[in-house]
């Protein structure tokens, strides 16, 4: 039965790239710890040093991020949730698909609003969240099975790119990318991501994108430097994950968190700063380097967007804007796109 269900979401070629992890959850066969370690090492040896945001989401990091979403300073989650609460039924009605695929799903709490509308309007369908955290996918699975037994659940444990490419193009799908997670991409990553999305989408597919908008700098700074210091713990926890992957010896007690707003690039930059010089050793690669006192490592960025310019930009990737939803304060935008017909 599991094998039959697999064919209902994966393309023929895509199915061969995934293997069962546990009930209703699949893991990408292409995941390679060696490649991951090499990519991580390259970023740490770059000038200046940086880390890919995906490494933030080990089990502890995922739990910390869920706490961040509930913080009073972190307006993004509650603002986006309010838009979804008001507009979910309209979004699902406009898209009219059989499958909803969520990128970077976490525990899929906001997406339950879309799933509720999907069940009410279509009686069922398929839900396929993609996430690097297996623990988050388990929580999402149990919640969806409990609340929406009419839906077929397929959790995809892996990277966005692997999950998007595996979905059957003939299955009408709404891809959902919430939380302004796209703001974690720099310009090069943004272009690479949406080129991949455009190639992978079928002719009847839609894409729902949530983005944070450019706004007052003080409001932005508070959102990423909360009074409880949970964001700081989230950012610095990445080095525990780095140590697991590389066997390295980063010491959290010798670093601090520093957020900055880059006005030119319209983004929050989240750094780890060495408070003491650390001699970092990576035994498997026989590499050693000094992380000097005062030196920063860029752990994550959060870009802010002008929604009109964003819609124009995504037309260049073959995504036509269908609808734009925002809140009363114009703080956040949800934009629904459809794969453009061949011109």
Beta bridge partners of 255: 274
List the structure tokens of 299: 């752990």
SS3 68: helix
**Confidence (pLDDT) at 286:** 87
What string of pLDDT tens digits covers the 343 residues of the chain?
344 444 478 887 777 889 999 999 999 886 555 588 999 999 999 999 999 998 999 989 989 999 999 999 999 999 999 999 999 999 999 999 999 999 988 788 899 999 999 999 999 999 999 998 898 899 999 999 999 999 999 999 988 888 999 999 999 999 999 999 999 999 999 999 999 999 999 999 999 999 999 999 999 999 999 999 999 999 999 999 999 999 999 999 999 999 999 999 999 999 999 999 999 999 988 899 999 999 999 999 999 999 999 999 999 999 999 999 999 999 999 999 999 987 5
Domains, the chain, in order of start with CATH, read 34-67+217-303 (no CATH), 74-215+305-339 (3.40.50.150)
List the structure tokens of 11: 């393309």
Task: Give the helix/strand (H/E) hosting 89.
Answer: helix 75-95
Residue whose C-alpha is closest to residue 179's, from 5, 332, 22 = 332
Contacts (Cβ under 8 Å, ≥6 apart) of 317:
194, 195, 197, 198
**Confidence (pLDDT) at 343:** 57
Residue whose C-alpha is closest to residue 75's, from 189, 276, 289, 226 = 226
**Confidence (pLDDT) at 154:** 94
Distances (CA, A) of 256 to 46, 143, 235, 267, 339: 20, 36, 9, 20, 43
Task: Give dist(CA 145, CA 142) in Å, integer.
Answer: 5
SS3 120: helix
SS3 101: strand
Task: Give the helix/strand (H/E) hosting 277.
Answer: none
Q: Tell me the backbone φ, ψ of residue 319, rounded to 5 degrees.
A: -120, 115
- Confidence (pTM): 0.93
> Are residues 169 and 11 in contact, defined by beta-carbon separation less than 8 angstroms?
yes
**How many CA atoms are closer than 13 Å to the CA of 302, on its beta-carbon side?**
25
Place of tokens 């990408």: 28
């Amino acid at each position: 039965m599991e094998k039959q269900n697999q064919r209902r979401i994966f393309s023929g070629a895509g199915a061969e790239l995934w293997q069962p992890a546990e009930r209703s959850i699949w893991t990408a066969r292409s995941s390679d710890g060696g490649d991951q370690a090499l990519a991580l090492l390259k970023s740490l040896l770059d000038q200046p040093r940086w880390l890919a945001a995906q490494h933030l989401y080990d089990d502890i990091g995922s739990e910390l991020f869920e706490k961040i979403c509930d913080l009073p300073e972190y307006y993004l989650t509650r603002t986006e949730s309010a838009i979804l609460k008001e507009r979910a039924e309209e979004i699902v009605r406009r898209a009219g698909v059989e499958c909803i695929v969520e990128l970077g799903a976490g525990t899929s709490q906001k997406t339950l609003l879309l799933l509720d509308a999907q069940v009410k309007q279509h009686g069922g369908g398929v839900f396929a969240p993609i996430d690097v955290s297996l623990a988050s996918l388990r929580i999402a699975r149990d919640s969806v099975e409990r609340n929406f037994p009419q839906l077929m659940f397929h959790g995809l444990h892996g990277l966005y790119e692997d999950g998007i490419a595996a979905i059957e193009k003939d299955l009408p799908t709404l891809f959902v990318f919430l939380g302004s997670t796209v703001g974690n991409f720099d310009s090069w990553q943004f272009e690479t991501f949406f080129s991949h999305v455009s190639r992978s989408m079928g002719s009847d597919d839609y894409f729902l994108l949530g983005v944070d908008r450019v706004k007052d700098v003080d409001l932005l700074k508070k959102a990423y430097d909360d009074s409880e210091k949970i964001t700081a713990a989230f950012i610095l926890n990445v080095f525990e994950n780095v140590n697991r992957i590389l066997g390295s010896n980063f010491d959290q007690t010798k670093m601090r968190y520093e957020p900055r707003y880059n006005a030119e690039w319209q983004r929050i930059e989240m750094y780890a700063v060495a408070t003491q010089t650390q001699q970092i050793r990576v035994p498997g690669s026989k590499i050693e380097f000094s992380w000097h006192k005062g030196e920063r490592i860029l752990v994550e960025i959060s870009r802010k967007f002008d929604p009109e310019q964003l819609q124009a930009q995504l037309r260049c990737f073959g995504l036509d804007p269908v609808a734009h939803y925002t809140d009363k304060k114009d703080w956040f935008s949800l934009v629904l796109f459809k794969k453009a017909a061949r011109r």
